[in-house]
Every structure is written in C-alpha cells, then in structure tokens.
Structure 1
C-alpha cells in the first residue's frame, strides 16, 4: 500500500492542486462556461448526465475492445512472421513504418468512402493505431533473447520452432505486454476518431453533438471518460501481465 501511494499518491495530489487552480482561475476571470467550464461544472454535468452518457460509453467500450483485439492479434502475427522470415522483414518493415505516417484523421474519411458507414472502417482505424506498437515491441523482445540460451537449446537438439515457442516467445512476453499497454491507450482515441466520422452512438458522437451546441462542459466530461477508459484498459492489461510474467520487477 505504501509503495502504491509513493507511485500514484503524488500524482493524485498534483491533479487535485491543478483542478483547484483551474477552478480559481475560472472564478477570478469570470470565464463563461461555453469557453472554459470550471471543474465543478464538469463534475456536475457528469453527475446529472451519466445515464444519458451511459449508452455512448458502452458503445465505445465495445468498439474499442473489438478493435484492440483485432489490432493486437494482427500485430503479434505480423511480428512473428517478420522475425521468423528475415527477407520478409527487409521488405515489409519499412512499409509498416510508412503506414504510421499517414494521419488517421485523413485516412478515416477514405475508409468510409470505400467501405461505407458500417463497423468495418471503424475497426480498421482502431487496428491501424494498435498493431504497430505490438509489432515493434514484440520484435524487440524476440531479438533480446540471450544468445547463450539459444545456443544451449541448439546443442540439445531443439528445432527452430521449439526454440521460438519455448524460449523466444516466453522471453518476449514483457515486451509484448509493454506494446499492449501502449496499444490500449491508443485504441480508445482511435475508436473516438472513427465515431466522429460516422456513427449513431459513442463518445465521439456525444462530443460532436456537445461541440455543435457549445456545451463545453459535456466535452470535458467526455474527455474524462476517455481517460478513465484508457486507464481501465491499461490496468487490466497490467494485471494480466503480473499473472503471466512471473518474477518481473514492478514497473510501468
């Protein structure tokens, strides 16, 4: 408990001080709520509108989890292929890097034109922002396997597949989970961006409606739930990591 406080308590205190300063500045400058709401206004809107927001939150959660699952599965599969086939790595890895230089906000409208307003373009957007951290982290983990352990397994007659699945894959688990945690935080924003461009329900739709009606307090409420959902996904993945990766020191 003491260790948890040392790691997160100071951040909570800093956030509270920041919110107090924010509240005071809005009060002193008499800033209108449509321009910048005070934290108390945002909290009031969250309390009063939680049931109206509930359906949007559930919709975004479902979309995020589905897109994150697809993106991470594809990313891990690509990482294994590129690591096991060096020639494919030389050809495809630069293309993967180039794919991350295409702005999502530019690509998303094209996906809607090509695939319509159904679920597919939204999943593609989320998968695109999720798979790359998995690819990079997984390949780094595979490469960091101790050479002496690989040499020992080769000496006892282990095949290439056995070396990979019994040594390199378990050794890469901490790196894979690091990529998963990064992808989890990206996935929520990817879901919101995809909802901006064509959806009937979701946090992105809620934010668009709030902005068009100058309800900035609702926009900040939506931002709060986006951060909350990201932290929740991060925490779940970290919990699974603790269960699967034995003997690892506490980290991020």
Structure 2
C-alpha cells in the first residue's frame, strides 16, 4: 500500500471513530442510559449555539487558554534550564532529579491552598499548569541529553571542545526532536493543569464553569465546558504534533 493510501486509511479510521463516539454519546443521553447527568449531545450543542451560552463559554475559554499558555511557557522554560544545568554541571543532576520527582508527587489539592495564599487565585491556574509541564519537559530533556552518541563525543573530545561547545553544537541539535516530543505531551497537560487550578476559586475559567455548573446542576453548561476543554487540548496536541514531525524531518 502506498503512503497516500495509508494516510487516507488512517484518516478514515479517525473520522469513523469520531463519528461512532458522537453517536454513542447522543444515544446514551437520548435514552438516559447514564441518567439525567448525561444530556443528549444535541442539547449541549443547542446550549452552546445560544448567544448567552456561546458568550459565557468563549470568555472563560479565553481565560483558561491564557493561563495554560503562561504555565506552558514558564514550565517549559524552567525545565529546559534545569536540564541544561544538569548536563553542564553533572553534580547537580541527582538533586534536580529528586527535586522534580518530589514536586511532581505532591498532590495538587495539597499545593492549591499554599499557592492561593502566595501567588493569588488568579495566578494559581498558571502555576499548576507550569508544574505539570515542567516535570514532563525536564524528564524528556534530561533523557534526550543523556542519549549520547559515543563516536560524536569522541570527535569533540579529540578536537578539544568545551562543555558549552558540545552543548551548542552536538547535544542541543540532537535533542530538538525530543524537545518537541515533550511539547506534544505537555500541551494537553497545561490545559488540564490550568482547568484544575481554576477549581480552587479562580474568578473565571472553564474549571470554574465546571464546578459552578456541577453545584447548580446545569448539565448542559457542565458538558459544554468539559467539551471545550477537551477540544482545546486536542487542538494543542495536533498543533504540536505537526511541529514535532517537522522537527524530526529536519534534525533526526
């Protein structure tokens, strides 16, 4: 089978799976197989189509996207700096590894009160998103830097290159595909982290909508907010997947 045919088949499977999922969601809601808490998908779409529903969802979607983007940039940047330090100064690697693992192991519900009292309710979603992204990026980049090519290392050693020269000319270019792998995994994590961070009293955001709708039994709003967060995560995943494929073609 040719490459275009394989690509067409893969797309057909994706479309068929998405259609089956939507039909199943509609039937479950229509027949009330999961109770009233699962409304038909058409009811959710009708709510989103109303001016009030669309406006409410859009305003909160923008807030969640902004918090996730800030956390994404901060988390990826700090993780990248930490991975570079662990490579350039090997004595720091064990401490940075343990620190990142301990920070990742702390439950979000335990960090939330501390973050609210330190950075404030508005910035807590971005910080939680940054923590989610930071661990993934740090593990990805330290693994990429550790995956060395002995022949290339020998050549740079013979040429008398410094540690910084090896980083810039050898390890950094070789780690570019892994860097984008980390971004692919981190983008949905940033959306999830920001959404969860908004549960703890943020003034706006999809997470706040989900909690408020659940408490007031507004099922259409609850599912609309959840679907908006899901679509946003899928969109960021697809964008960074395309970037990752381009990076692999260029640097692999």
- TM-score w.r.t. the length of structure 2 is 0.89
**Could you say what secondary structure the match of 1:246 adopts?**
helix
Structure 1 residues 11-47: Cα deviation after superposition (integer angstroms, max 9, x where no partner): 33123223323323433347654x2111222222222
2:138 counterpart of 1:149: no
**Unpaired runs of 5+ in structure 1?**
none
Superposed CA RMSD: 2.1
Match of 1:42 among 44, 61, 79: 44
Q: Does the 8 Å CA contact 2:63/2:205 hold for their aligned counterparts?
A: yes
**Partner residue, 1:113:** 117
**Could you say what secondary structure the match of 2:208 adopts?**
helix
**Partner residue, 2:171:** 168
**Partner residue, 1:229:** 232
Structure 1 residues 200-224: Cα deviation after superposition (integer angstroms, max 9, x where no partner): 2111121122112211222111111
Superposition map of 1:4-19 within 5 A: 4-19=7-22
Match of 1:64 among 54, 62, 68: 68
**Partner residue, 1:239:** 242
| Alpha-carbon separation, structure 1, partners of 2:63 and 2:184 | 21
In structure 2, relative to structure 1, the CA distance for the partners of 1:15 and 1:239 (3 Å cut) is closer
In structure 2, relative to structure 1, the CA distance for the partners of 1:19 and 1:159 (3 Å cut) is same
- TM-score w.r.t. the length of structure 1 is 0.89
Structure 1 residues 59-86: Cα deviation after superposition (integer angstroms, max 9, x where no partner): 1111111110000000100111112222
Match of 2:85 among 56, 59, 81: 81
2:201 counterpart of 1:182: no
Structure 1 residues 169-220: Cα deviation after superposition (integer angstroms, max 9, x where no partner): 1101111111111111100011111111122211112112211221122211
Report the Cα offset of residue 238 of structure 1: 2.7
2:104 counterpart of 1:100: yes
Q: Does the 8 Å CA contact 1:122/1:191 hold for their aligned counterparts?
A: yes
| Alpha-carbon separation, structure 2, partners of 1:126 and 1:198 | 16
